[in-house]
């Protein structure tokens, strides 16, 4: 809307200047014909004044677009307005004030060695050197924006040259400085993200002091000399092979340990079983010994119970400490010369035992 107003006033100023020219033409025609020239002079004067005034007014109207701010400069004392003008229509005093607009939108600046990729055509990557002397070429991108409240700071220090004269050299210097703190193998591998974070933090601090906000910093490419890159790849392959061999050895060791533990547990189980059986036998023998001590005839009874089926009856003196008199057994005839009467199978009765004992 502000732009439409300024354009309309500019059109009116143009009409005023056209009126001035028309008045001059009338003056010339009237003078050549000997007629009064007053009317032409009036028209020319009004047109000139109106055109000049409207032209000045149109120059005093500034329109600030979204994502822009305007810094107003006082031409008389050389000062800047305390606050930049935000989006909208503003009026300034022409000649006494000058307005310069700046974009506060996100800006991207890329430095790359790939053609048609960076802000500067050609080999524009950053050449740096690690602390172990390896050369590295780095493609980077910075994404930043001008802080609206500090646009006067940018105008005072850099004007519209801040990208080329501040952003570009600052980023290149910080990248070289931070790369020099790392070994090549480290930033080639796992410490690349750490390097990126260190550079981003350093750039953000420098930008903040100059009225810029850093949104992001990206390392697009890290290119080492071909010989170094190949050596790193060979080293990584060797480390992977070693790691795989170690893993296989650990698996084999674990399996062997498992088999050994199983054998140990099996042996321990067998030993425990033997010990338990021995303890059970010992307790059984102890119990038997106690019973024999309490019942001396128990041995004779068990012997009789376990005699062969061919023996029907055996009588043993109650006062004999032995089951047999071996001296008497030696004088006995051979078993085939003895005529043994048949005795019916029956259990000895208590009465017969008592009679024998009596």
pLDDT tens, 34-46?
A: 777 777 777 778 7
* Higher-pLDDT residue of 110, 184: 110
Which segments of 75-162 are extended strands (E)? 88-91, 97-103, 107-111, 126-129, 135-146
pLDDT at 326: 47
pLDDT at 4: 61
Mean pLDDT of all residues in 51-59: 69
pLDDT at 50: 72
Q: Is the per-residue pLDDT at 1 higher than 60?
A: no
pLDDT at 77: 84
Q: Is the per-residue pLDDT at 101 higher than 80?
A: yes
pLDDT at 174: 97
**Tens digits of per-residue pLDDT, 181-233?**
998 888 887 889 999 999 999 999 999 999 999 999 999 988 887 776 666 66
Lowest mean pLDDT among 79-83, 142-146, 178-182: 79-83
Mean pLDDT of all residues in 286-306: 72
Q: Is the per-residue pLDDT at 331 higher than 60?
A: no
Determine the Cα–Cα distance for residues 341 and 20; give it in Å rounded to an integer.
178
Helix (H, G, I), strand (E, B) or coil at 191: coil
How do the domains of the chain map onto residue ranges? 2-103, 107-224, 226-294, 298-357
Q: How far is CA 251 from CA 191, 254, 258, 259, 319, in A?
A: 31, 5, 11, 12, 76
The answer to whether the CB of 170 falls within 8 A of the CB of 118 is no
Domain 107-224 architecture: 2-Layer Sandwich (3.30)
Per-residue DSSP letter, 335: G
Nearest of 187, 186, 190 to residue 138 by alpha carbon? 187
The answer to whether the CB of 142 falls within 8 A of the CB of 108 is yes
pLDDT at 69: 93
Mean pLDDT of all residues in 120-136: 88
pLDDT at 103: 94
How does residue 139 score in pLDDT terms, banded at 50, 70 and 90?
Answer: very high
Helix (H, G, I), strand (E, B) or coil at 119: coil
Determine the Cα–Cα distance for residues 70 and 80; give it in Å rounded to an integer.
11
Mean pLDDT, all residues of the chain:
78
pLDDT at 238: 66
Determine the Cα–Cα distance for residues 43 and 130; give it in Å rounded to an integer.
78
């Amino acid at each position: 809307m502000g732009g439409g107003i300024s354009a309309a006033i500019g059109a009116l100023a143009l009409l005023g200047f056209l009126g001035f020219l028309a008045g001059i033409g009338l003056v010339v025609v009237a003078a050549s014909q000997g007629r009064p020239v007053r009317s032409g002079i009036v028209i020319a004067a009004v047109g000139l004044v109106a055109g000049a005034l409207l032209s000045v007014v149109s120059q005093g109207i500034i329109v600030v677009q979204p994502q822009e701010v305007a810094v107003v400069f006082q031409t008389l004392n050389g000062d800047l307005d305390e606050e930049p003008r935000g989006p909208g229509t503003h009026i300034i005093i022409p000649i006494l004030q000058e307005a310069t607009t700046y974009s506060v939108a996100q800006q991207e600046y890329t430095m790359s060695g790939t053609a048609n990729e960076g802000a500067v055509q050609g080999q524009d990557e950053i050449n740096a050197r690690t602390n172990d002397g390896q050369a590295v070429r780095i493609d980077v991108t910075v994404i930043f924006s001008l802080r609206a409240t500090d646009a006067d700071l940018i105008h005072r220090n850099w004007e519209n040259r801040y990208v080329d004269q501040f952003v570009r050299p600052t980023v290149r210097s910080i990248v070289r400085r931070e790369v020099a703190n790392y070994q090549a193998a480290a930033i080639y591998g796992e410490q690349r993200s750490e390097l990126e974070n260190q550079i981003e933090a350093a750039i953000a601090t420098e930008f903040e002091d100059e009225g810029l906000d850093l949104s992001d910093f990206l390392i697009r490419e890290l290119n080492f000399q071909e010989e170094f890159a190949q050596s790193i790849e060979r080293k990584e392959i060797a480390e992977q092979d070693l790691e795989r061999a170690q893993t296989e050895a650990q698996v084999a060791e674990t399996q062997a340990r498992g088999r050994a533990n199983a054998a140990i547990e099996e042996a321990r189980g067998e030993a425990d079983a033997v010990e338990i059986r021995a303890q059970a036998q010992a307790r059984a023998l102890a119990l038997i010994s106690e019973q024999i001590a309490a019942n001396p005839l128990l041995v004779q009874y068990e012997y009789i119970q376990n005699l062969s089926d061919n023996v029907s009856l055996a009588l043993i003196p109650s006062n004999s400490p032995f089951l047999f008199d071996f001296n008497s057994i030696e004088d006995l005839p051979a078993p085939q010369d003895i005529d043994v009467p048949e005795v019916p199978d029956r259990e000895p009765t208590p009465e017969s035992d008592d009679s024998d004992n009596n």
